[in-house]
Amino acid sequence: MALTPQWLDELRTRISLSGVIGRSVRVTKAGREFKACCPFHNEKTPSFTINDEKGFYHCFGCGAHGDVIRWMTDHQGLPFMEAVKELALQAGMEVPAPDPRAAKKAEQQKSLHDVMQAAQDFFVRCLAEERGSEARRYLASRGFPAQIVRDFGFGFAPDSRTALKEALSGFSDEMLIEAGLRIVVEGKEPYDRFRGRLMLPILDPRGRVIAFGGRILTAEKTDAPKYLNSPDTPLFDKGRTVYNLHRAGPASRQSGRVVVVEGYMDVVALAAAGIGEAVAPLGTALTEHQIERLWRLVETPTLCFDGDSAGQRAAMRAITRALPLLRPGHSLRIVTLPAGMDPDDVVKKQGSAAMEQLLAEARSLVDVLWEAERDAAPLATPEDKAGLKARLLAHCETIQHPDIKSLYRRELTERFGELAFARKERAPFQSRQGNAPRGQGQLWKPAPPPLAEQDKARMLRIGTGPSTSLLAAVIDGLICHPQHIARHSDALARLQPDNPDTCALIDALLVQADGAQPLESKALRTILLERGLRLPSAQDYAGMRFGFLGSGGDSAGDELAEAIALLVELPAVEEALGAATKRHEAEFSDESFAEQQRLLQRRLALLARLGQMGRARAAL
Last residue of a domain, one of 371, 398, 421: 371
Whats the size of the chain, residue-wise? 620
Residues 388 and 364 occupy one common structural domain: no
517-565 confidence digits (pLDDT tens): 566 788 888 888 877 788 887 777 766 667 777 666 667 777 878 888 8
Residues 610 and 470 occupy one common structural domain: yes
Residue 78 lies in a domain: yes
CATH number of the domain bearing residue 310: 3.40.1360.10
Total structural domains in the chain? 5
Using alpha carbons, select from 348, 616, 377, 382 the residue that is nearest to residue 477. 616
What is the predicted pLDDT for the residue at 438? 35
C-alpha angle 29-32-37 in degrees, rounded to nearest 5: 40
Residues 515 and 538 occupy one common structural domain: yes
Domain containing residue 560: 460-619
Please give the backbone phi and psi of residue 63, each rounded to the nearest 5 degrees, phi first: 85, 5
Selected residue with higher pLDDT from 95 and 319? 319
Residues 485 and 383 occupy one common structural domain: no
Residue 603 lies in a domain: yes
d(CA 544, CA 101): 43
Residues 177 and 151 occupy one common structural domain: yes
Residues 423 and 536 occupy one common structural domain: no
Give residue 228's identity as a one-letter amino acid code. L
What is the predicted pLDDT for the residue at 198? 96
380-433 confidence digits (pLDDT tens): 898 898 899 999 999 999 999 999 999 999 999 889 888 887 544 433 433 333
Residue 34 lies in a domain: yes
Indicate the pTM of the whole model: 0.58
d(CA 339, CA 304): 13
Residues 119 and 84 occupy one common structural domain: no
d(CA 40, CA 21): 12
Give residue 71's identity as a one-letter amino acid code. W
What is the predicted pLDDT for the residue at 388? 93
23-41 confidence digits (pLDDT tens): 888 899 888 889 999 888 8
Residues 450 and 577 occupy one common structural domain: no
Q: What is the DSSP letter of 362?
A: P
Residues 174 and 110 occupy one common structural domain: yes
Residue 474 lies in a domain: yes
Residue 251 lies in a domain: no
Residues 466 and 511 occupy one common structural domain: yes
Task: Give Dmax over CA atoms of the chain in angstroms.
Answer: 87
350-383 confidence digits (pLDDT tens): 999 999 999 999 999 999 999 999 988 889 898 8
203-233 confidence digits (pLDDT tens): 987 788 999 999 998 765 556 788 899 999 9
For residue 95, how far is the Cα from the chain centroid? 35
Residue 234 lies in a domain: no
d(CA 440, CA 420): 9
Using alpha carbons, select from 379, 360, 497, 494 the residue that is nearest to residue 438. 379
Q: What is the DSSP letter of 42?
A: -
As a whole number, mean pLDDT of residues 307-334 equals 87
Residue 238 lies in a domain: no
Residues with Cβ within 8 Å of residue 482, at least 6 apart in sequence: 512, 518, 519, 520, 521, 524
Residues 104 and 75 occupy one common structural domain: no
Task: Tell me if 531 sits within 8 A of 283, measured CB to CB.
Answer: yes
Last residue of a domain, one of 342, 371, 400: 371
Looking from the CA of 479 toward its CB, the CA atoms found within 13 Å total 22
d(CA 424, CA 471): 45
List beta partners, residue 363.
Answer: 334
Residue 342 lies in a domain: yes
As a whole number, mean pLDDT of residues 306-316 equals 78
Task: Tell me if 497 sits within 8 A of 468, measured CB to CB.
Answer: yes
Please give the backbone phi and psi of residue 541, each rounded to the nearest 5 degrees, phi first: -115, 40
3-state secondary structure 294-348: HHCCCCCCEEEECCCHHHHHHHHHHHHHHHHHCECCECCEEEECCCCCCHHHHHH
Using alpha carbons, select from 328, 297, 294, 334 the residue that is nearest to residue 314. 334
Last residue of a domain, one of 213, 229, 245: 229
Residues 55 and 69 occupy one common structural domain: yes
